[in-house]
Chains A and B, each alone.
Chain A
Amino acid sequence: MSATIQLGHGGGGQLGDELLRELLLPRLGNRHLNDLLDAATLEASGQERVALTIDGYVVQPTFFPGGDIGRLAVSGTVNDLAVCGARPIGLALGMILEEGTAREDLERVLDSVATTAREAEVEIVTGDTKVVGRGAGDGIYLTTAGVGLVPAERKLHPKRCRPGDVVLVSGTVGDHGMAVMLAREMPEVPSQLRSDVAPLQRMILQLLRELGDDVVFLRDPTRAGLAGVCADLATNSDCSVLLDESAIPIRPATRQAADLLGFDPLEVANEGKVVAVVRAGAVERALECLRENKYGRDAARIGVLGAPRPNAIARCEVQTRIGGRRFLSKPYGELLPRIC
């Protein structure tokens, strides 16, 4: 195969087959993918429900400290399944490549997809490749759709939340967004920042196995960050949310980068964290379970749910370090373009 991606590689013909044969199958091959059928048929038992999700990935730069678009594409979709209580059973991978992309870059990304999929205990079972002319795309865009199976009895939903339930986060917040932004906007600034991108299915499914119904709701704080998740929680549950600012784990390097670039770490994307709402009596067990996993070492209790407020404005609040109060609202919109 040539050193760069050509238009023909997306044409579904012999050039496309060459790309599949030389780049994809050696890295991602399995009994489903090897057949190169239009769709993969996956097994499910009668008692389980099917979870389906999809996400597009357009992160710039393609390779950033701590990860790359390939790791992101697998982790993001696997985590979306896991927070619904689903065990991922297959991913479909769509690629839109810009003509002229270096073969080497695509290989690096696919290596990452393969490694992360192995860690996520899921296979890429089918996919698609398209190539657009130079300038019509931007390097590599990926889309992953994921399918998972949810046990019949599992019900994670904001409406199950009750006053007294506790909000946990599995670790430090703001790392991914700040790492990508700093790498993109100030590449000359030396930094310890690393994206936290990681597949969390093992940690989440273990939590669900151990705590069962005591886990009420799960969400991964990607774009819009912790603030987005908590503001949504306050809107969609019939509870108010009160977070304790001094309990929210934030890396000093992340805080510094956020200060430098003018962002609030609570509003910045995470790609390897989960927010969990659990019953009060299960908090210690939940924290112990999360901390046993390498991605949950810094898990912390960060807030509590309270009685519903008639006034929608004040439903989600933060108790600040000096004992004051302020609202936490969902960020407006494109705070940080192209970080996922």
Chain B
Amino acid sequence: MQRHEQIRAWLDGIERLALQRSGPIRLMEVCGTHTTAIFRSGLPSLMPSNLQLLSGPGCPVCVTAQSEIDAMIELARQDLVLCSYGDMLRVPGIRGSLEQARGQGADVRTVYGALDVLRLAQSEPTRQFVFAAVGFETTAPATAALILQAQREGVCNLFVLTAHKRVLPALQALLSQDALPLDGIVLPGHVSIVLGANAYQELPDRFRLPMVIAGFEDWQLLQAIHHLLEQRIAGEHRLENLYPQAVLPAGNRSAQAMLERVFESVSAPWRGLGEIAGSGFGLRAEFADFDAARQFHIVPKASRAHSACRCGDIITGRAQPFDCALFARTCTPLHPLGPCMVSSEGTCQAWFKYRRTAAMELTR
């Protein structure tokens, strides 16, 4: 079948299947890149009215706890170079963002990859460099590689503030919460390449939910939605890997080995989900010399986001962007109040940028 015929078949199938349920059908993805890809492809506009596509805690910037963000900004204000991925720059902290700190004289530099920090540290040996390491299992291996390389080359002016998180514990915590009835999960793309399909094996049975690993192309997302719906209406709950060309059953073993070598599982704070045991990556004792928190005496302080910001609810699917009083009014991409609006993978930014809501279209 030609691709466009296949697409038509899946769209018709989704329409047909959705009719078999009178109430709402809720499918959730847990990958920021999926969030953006879904909106950019125009999929929400093609779904039957009772089918909701929800975003879960899949945006690495969005799930970073306020206390972690404030720690980064506090570090930036010291006499060192803070390196971070671009998306972190505009996230509001208690006393402004990293970008604002830079405007006030802090040395904050954007990097595209973790190893860039090594090059920078080596080129300026008299300065201390701190890398704000954010992200899931997709970016954590690069941080591990950075630390191993720095150790091999005897680099002493490089430190890492680890805020990496593990997706599986958060997904399990979310699904155990019972708060929101879901009908299926689109499992992350890039994270799955590292973890492997087998990592999710027991989840569909445990939570009695169909789960599908999906790629990022428009047709792959459509296929994923179709297959989830098909399973759900048939009363099935299986794991399907629809991205087998990239996601192997055992995943990327060398990436896993690097993670195992450098990190150990620790408890970590998640925006919207609180503290989750075993959900963070902490540096093993052998690499304590690279720990920025230890070097610069950073003590995690409980901080609060803007009081009306509902990012925490939005990234757990308990609310949608237009449920937040700030959305598109005082909180916009130009003047963001929370990470979901700042991040290019944030739910609120995706909604604002690509498709606010039909309700807003009618009322304006």
Contact = CB atoms under 8 A, between A and B. Distances in A.
Contact of B354 (A185, A312, A321, A327): A327
A326 B39 contact: yes
Contact of B46 (A264, A310, A324, A329): A324
A192 interface: no
A151 B218 CA distance: 47
Nearest to B44: A324
A275 B233 CA distance: 47
B46 A323 contact: yes
A152 interface: no
A324 B43 contact: yes
A324 B45 contact: yes
B344 A320 contact: no
A121 B218 CA distance: 45
Contacts of B11: 322-323
Contacts of A325: 42, 45, 355
A320 B41 contact: yes
B333 A332 contact: yes
A280 interface: no
Given A320-B41, A320-B218, A321-B218, A326 B355 contact: yes
A314 interface: yes
Interface in A289-340: 310-314, 318-327, 329, 332-333
A185 B112 contact: yes
Interface string A119-140: 0000000000000000000000
A319 B39 CA distance: 12
A261 B110 CA distance: 13
Q: Name, among A314, A324, A327, the residue most crowded by chain B CB atoms within 10 Å (CB to CB).
A: A324
Indicate the size class of the contact surface on chain B.
Answer: 20 to 34
Given A313-B361, A321-B218, A326 B40 contact: yes
B261 interface: no
A320 B44 CA distance: 11
A262 interface: yes
B344 A312 contact: no
Interface in A165-190: 185-186
A324 B42 contact: yes
Nearest to B85: A262
Given A320-B218, A322-B219, A326-B355, A313 B364 contact: yes
A323 B218 CA distance: 10
A326 B364 contact: no
B334 interface: yes
Interface in B310-364: 333-334, 344, 353-356, 360-362, 364
B222 interface: yes
B242 interface: no
A311 B46 contact: no
Contacts, number: 62
B145 interface: no
B120 to A, nearest CB: 13
Contacts of A185: 112
A322 B360 contact: no
Contacts of B333: 332
A319 B344 contact: no
Nearest to A311: B364
Contacts of A327: 353-356
A262 B355 CA distance: 20
Contacts of A333: 334
B345 to A, nearest CB: 9
B7 interface: yes
Interface string A19-38: 00000000000000000000
Interface string A255-278: 000000110100000000000000
A48 B354 CA distance: 43
Contacts of B344: 262
A323 B47 CA distance: 11
Interface in B93-134: 112
Contact of A326 (B42, B112, B219, B222): B42
A306 B362 CA distance: 18
A262 B40 CA distance: 13
A322 B355 CA distance: 16
Given A313-B356, A332-B334, A320 B40 contact: yes
B348 to A, nearest CB: 13
A32 to B, nearest CB: 42
A313 B322 CA distance: 14
A226 to B, nearest CB: 14
B91 to A, nearest CB: 14
Point out which of A186, A319, A320 has the most chain B C-beta atoms below 10 A from its C-beta. Answer: A320
B164 to A, nearest CB: 18
B40 A313 contact: no
Nearest to B349: A332
Contacts of B356: 313-314, 327
A261 B112 contact: yes
A312 B362 CA distance: 11
B112 A318 contact: no
Nearest to A261: B112
Contacts of A320: 40-42, 218
Interface in B33-89: 39-46
A116 to B, nearest CB: 31
B77 to A, nearest CB: 22
Interface of A: 185-186, 261-262, 264, 310-314, 318-327, 329, 332-333
> Which 10 pairs between the two chains have the least Cβ-Cβ distance?
A324-B42, A320-B42, A326-B354, A311-B364, A324-B45, A325-B45, A324-B46, A326-B42, A322-B218, A332-B333
Given A324-B41, A324-B46, A325-B45, 16 more contacts: A261-B112, A264-B40, A311-B361, A311-B364, A313-B360, A313-B364, A314-B356, A314-B361, A320-B42, A321-B41, A323-B7, A323-B42, A324-B45, A325-B355, A326-B355, A332-B334
25 contacts: A185-B112, A186-B112, A261-B112, A262-B344, A264-B40, A310-B364, A313-B356, A313-B361, A320-B218, A322-B11, A322-B222, A323-B7, A323-B11, A323-B46, A324-B41, A324-B43, A324-B44, A324-B46, A325-B45, A326-B39, A326-B41, A326-B355, A327-B355, A329-B353, A332-B333
